[in-house]
């Protein structure tokens, strides 16, 4: 049964009108009628859909065809070719009729202004909800393209959290767009390819869609670095001919050996993706000729036990490389992937990678979460893979509830999309998967947000460790909590997962509200004063401001400014536009810019809403500058801090003038570095001199050179100001055995 009597897509105008004008100039090239075949889509759907379901899909196709009539793609094909191609990809996964209908309709809301209510009436609520989750937010005005993209991703990911079919259709949509990207401008190619590599590739990997993951990687690579792609492609083709005999010899040897062992198995060679080769060359600084494992082999056996039997058989045929065996069957990857990986020394000393798996593991490896639709077994219970996916999708909702805006939400999610993982154990031997680089504190938040918030210490492999300790595969982690403990803003400097970061920021936002309100009120008052506006705003202006800013109260608005979520200068300019005409008519030379605001006074003891930057550790007497960081408040840097200079170049509007107060009744951390002769008693003499100079030592470290002649001592000391530091350094230079003393920067 075909969706239309034609065997190719309708390309000729019919006697009806379209809701939209063509997306292409009328002088577009002639349509290629063989781009996407409705007959081919019909044949795929007829394999698994019922006649009644096919009828509904046909209705969706007709509606989509009507809505897109007159539209053409950049390539010149009718626009309907794109929805059909997306539906074909979804049909390869054997997604259900609702998903296929949504794939055919996925652009009608965005391009043709079709309302969700109309889709509900025609095709039902589930299909309309899928299409709505796929539609972009074109009608809302955003402050920037970045904010718009972030909100689009947020909407898509949250829709995906309630129905994973949303992201499967979106990935199919992105795959077809990437396959046809050559008709776009160079700038648009780079932007779309970069977005694909940054967001969609890791999502495909996270869901176990390895075929799409690899193809999207290579397509994005080809548009981001076209010259490198072409060069590498030529090199691989040349190597393919040179190594053909080696591959053939290995393939025959492996098949013969497995047959002699009476192991039923499918064996075939596979080639690394171009991006995989490029990534290895970059990370390990290799030339192409040094990348020896361009080819690998996959062995698919009939049972779980035979995976290990095949492994032993292969190790008997070729010698394994030490440290190159990974058992992803016993401990599967986050996305459900299972296989045995081993690298063997093949003929002529060439390293060869083998992957050994069962047919079930192979289906999951290639189709990931989509395997749920590919191979239905009638079991209503969620598989282990589906449970893992559901848990991750649920974590998106948790992050959303704790996150202030779309950009921050996307930042947290992208952190969790990195494919590399470490696998650690709870004291009860439960396996927990975390992103590589995750710390013990990330582990605590992964178990439960309440445990993370009340963490005081950690034991790793039964030994006390720091909360910032990076975890390694196989670590046994035990968290010690205290009901009176609370998150610290310093935790944000080392946590790795989005869940931990959003939970800490959520806590800081709620617990330190009063302090943030005070800081925000001060910043807004200064910004208003610089524009010759009285900070005591009249009630009508306040009412307008709250209505247009979506804040429920001035305290909420002050708090947003205090934690860096809103810019005081921008709010002040907005207020300037709300006040009466008399004030609005002030001469332009009476208006000060945001950079001319009176400096904020810093006393060093304000708490979490005002923090001294750990990169440069400013002390009284230093020239300082303030950075408003989102959800971290005001961060104070030294004027010559290199990190501050780089950040200021990217977001100059987030920097304000600050100055030290006159009464500073506290001590400040400062780092110093000493070069000393490695001799007996030198550390004691240095420590004694620091104490006699009325300074406290909070940290000491030592770096020795290979000859043990000179040693570098690093101290973090607590002092009053620059004068106190100068006095201390002068005294340390007089200690016997000290050859150099300097303040350590950045």
Q: Please give the Cα distance from 358 to 339 (Å, whole number).
A: 8
pLDDT at 508 (0 to 100) = 72
Give the number of other CB atoms < 10 A from CB of residue 295: 22
The neighbouring-strand residues paired with 718 are: 669, 696
Residue 77 three-state SS:
coil
Of 405, 410, 432, nearest to 421 by C-alpha is 432
395-412 as b/e: b if 16+ CB within 10 A: bbebbbebbbebbbbbbb
The neighbouring-strand residues paired with 266 are: 300
Measured CA to CA in angstroms, residue 679 lies from 682, 691, 737 at distances of 6, 20, 8
344-376 as b/e: b if 16+ CB within 10 A: bebeeebebbbbbbbeebbebbbbbbbbbbeee
Q: Please give the Cα distance from 102 to 99 (Å, whole number).
A: 5
- 230-374, which class in CATH? alpha beta
Low-confidence ranges of the chain (pLDDT < 70): 1-37, 136-162, 240-244, 290, 292-294, 334-335, 367-421, 509, 511-512, 550, 563-565, 567, 570, 573, 577, 579-598, 603-609, 630-633, 704-710, 746
Q: Where are the beta strands (DSSP E) in 524-572?
A: none
- Residue pair 36/88 in contact by the 8 Å Cβ criterion: yes
- At 429, give phi and psi (nearest 5°): 70, 20
Q: Please give the Cα distance from 506 to 628 (Å, whole number).
A: 17
Q: Please give the Cα distance from 307 to 339 (Å, whole number).
A: 8
In the chain the first and final C-alpha atoms are separated, in Å, by: 69
pLDDT at 216 (0 to 100) = 92
Angle, CA 102 vertex, CA 96 and CA 106 arms, to 5° = 150
Give the start-to-end residue ranges of the domains of the chain: 38-227, 230-374, 420-510, 668-743
- Residue pair 478/467 in contact by the 8 Å Cβ criterion: no
Give 429's contacts (C-beta < 8 A, 6+ positions apart).
none
pLDDT at 186 (0 to 100) = 86
668-743 placed in CATH 3.40.50.300: no
Annotated catalytic residue within 59, 110, 215, 669: 110
- Residue pair 562/609 in contact by the 8 Å Cβ criterion: yes
Of 32, 112, 135, 124, nearest to 65 by C-alpha is 112
Q: Tens digit of pLDDT for each residue in 239-273? A: 766 666 777 888 888 999 999 988 989 888 877 78
68, 72, 73, 76 alpha-carbon torsion, rounded to 10°: 150
Q: Please give the Cα distance from 457 to 66 (Å, whole number).
A: 63
pLDDT at 511 (0 to 100) = 65
CA 617 to chain centre: 29
Q: Tens digit of pLDDT for each residue in 157-196? A: 555 556 778 888 888 999 999 998 888 888 888 888 988 8
pLDDT at 728 (0 to 100) = 93
Annotated catalytic residue within 77, 88, 111, 163: 111
The neighbouring-strand residues paired with 269 are: 297
Crossing angle of the two packed helices 97-105 and 125-134, in degrees rounded to 10:
50
Q: Please give the Cα distance from 306 to 303 (Å, whole number).
A: 5
Active site residue 581: no
Active site residue 110: yes
CATH, domain 38-227, list 3.90.25.10, 3.40.140.80, 1.10.3210.10, 3.40.50.1110: 1.10.3210.10
Q: Please give the Cα distance from 333 to 392 (Å, whole number).
A: 13
pTM of the complete model beyond 0.75: no
pLDDT at 18 (0 to 100) = 39
| CATH architecture, domain 420-510 | Roll (3.10)
């Amino acid at each position: 049964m075909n969706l239309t009597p034609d065997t190719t897509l309708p390309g000729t105008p019919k006697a009806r009108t379209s809701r939209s004008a063509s997306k292409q100039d009328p002088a577009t090239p002639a349509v290629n009628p063989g781009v996407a075949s409705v007959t081919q889509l019909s044949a795929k759907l007829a394999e698994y859909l019922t006649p009644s379901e096919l009828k509904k899909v046909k209705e969706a196709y007709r509606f989509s065809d009507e809505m897109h009539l007159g539209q053409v793609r950049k390539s010149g094909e009718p626009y309907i070719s794109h929805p059909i191609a997306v539906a074909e990809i979804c049909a390869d996964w054997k997604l259900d009729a609702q998903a296929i209908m949504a794939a055919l309709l996925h652009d009608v809301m965005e391009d043709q202004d079709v309302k969700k209510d109309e889709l509900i009436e025609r095709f039902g609520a589930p299909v309309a909800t899928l299409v709505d989750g796929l539609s972009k937010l074109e009608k809302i005005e955003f402050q920037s393209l970045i904010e718009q993209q972030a909100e689009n991703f947020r909407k898509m990911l949250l829709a995906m959290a309630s129905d994973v079919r949303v992201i499967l259709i979106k990935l199919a949509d992105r795959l077809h767009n990437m396959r046809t990207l050559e008709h776009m401008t160079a700038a648009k190619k780079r932007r779309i390819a970069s977005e694909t590599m940054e967001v969609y590739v890791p999502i495909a990997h996270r869901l176990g869609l390895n075929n799409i993951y690899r193809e999207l990687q290579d397509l994005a690579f080809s548009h981001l670095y076209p010259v490198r792609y072409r060069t590498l492609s030529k090199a691989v083709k040349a190597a393919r001919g040179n190594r053909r005999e080696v591959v053939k010899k290995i393939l025959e040897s492996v098949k013969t050996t497995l047959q002699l062992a009476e192991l039923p198995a499918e064996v075939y060679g596979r080639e690394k993706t171009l991006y995989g080769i490029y990534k290895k060359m970059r990370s390990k600084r290799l030339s192409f000729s040094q990348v020896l494992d361009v080819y690998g082999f996959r062995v698919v056996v009939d049972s779980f036990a035979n995976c290990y039997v095949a492994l032993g058989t292969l190790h008997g045929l070729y010698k394994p490389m030490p440290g190159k065996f990974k058992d992803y069957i016993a401990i599967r990857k986050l996305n459900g992937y299972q296989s045995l990986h081993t690298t063997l020394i093949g003929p002529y000393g060439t390293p060869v990678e083998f992957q050994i798996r069962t047919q079930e593991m192979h289906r999951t490896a290639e189709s990931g979460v989509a395997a749920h639709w590919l191979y239905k077994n009638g079991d209503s219970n969620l598989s282990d893979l589906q449970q893992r996916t559901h848990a991750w999708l649920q974590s998106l909702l948790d992050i959303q509830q704790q996150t202030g805006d779309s950009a921050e939400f996307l930042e947290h999610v992208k952190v969790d999309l990195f494919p590399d993982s470490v696998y650690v154990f709870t004291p009860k031997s439960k396996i927990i998967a975390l992103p590589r680089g995750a710390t013990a504190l990330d582990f605590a938040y992964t178990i439960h947000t309440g445990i993370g918030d009340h963490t005081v210490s950690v034991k790793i492999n039964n030994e006390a460790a720091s909360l910032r300790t990076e975890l390694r595969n196989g670590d046994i982690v035990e968290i010690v909590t205290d009901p009176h403990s609370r998150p610290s803003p310093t935790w944000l400097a080392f946590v790795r997962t989005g869940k931990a970061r959003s939970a800490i920021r959520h806590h800081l936002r709620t617990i330190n509200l009063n302090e943030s309100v005070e800081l925000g009120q001060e910043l807004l008052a200064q910004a208003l004063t610089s524009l010759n506006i009285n900070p005591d705003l009249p009630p009508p202006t306040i009412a307008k401001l709250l209505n247009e800013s979506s804040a429920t109260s001035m305290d909420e608005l002050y708090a947003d400014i205090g934690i860096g979520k809103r810019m005081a200068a921008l709010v002040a300019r907005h207020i300037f536009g709300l006040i009466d005409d008399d004030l609005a008519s002030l001469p332009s030379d009476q208006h000060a810019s945001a950079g001319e605001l009176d400096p904020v006074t810093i006393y060093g003891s304000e708490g979490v809403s005002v923090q001294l930057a750990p990169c440069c550790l400013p002390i009284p007497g230093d020239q300082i500058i303030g950075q408003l960081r989102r959800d971290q408040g005001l961060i104070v840097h030294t004027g010559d801090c290199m990190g501050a200079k780089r950040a200021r170049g990217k977001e100059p509007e987030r920097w304000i003038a600050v100055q030290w107060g006159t009464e500073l009744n506290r001590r400040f951390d400062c780092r110093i570095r000493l070069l000393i002769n490695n001799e007996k008693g030198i550390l004691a003499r240095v420590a004694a001199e620091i104490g006699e100079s009325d300074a406290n030592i909070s940290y000491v470290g030592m770096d020795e050179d290979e000859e043990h002649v000179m040693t570098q001592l690093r101290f973090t000391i607590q002092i009053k100001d620059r004068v106190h530091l100068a006095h201390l350094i002068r005294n340390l230079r007089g200690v016997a055995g000290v050859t150099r003393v300097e303040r350590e920067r950045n």
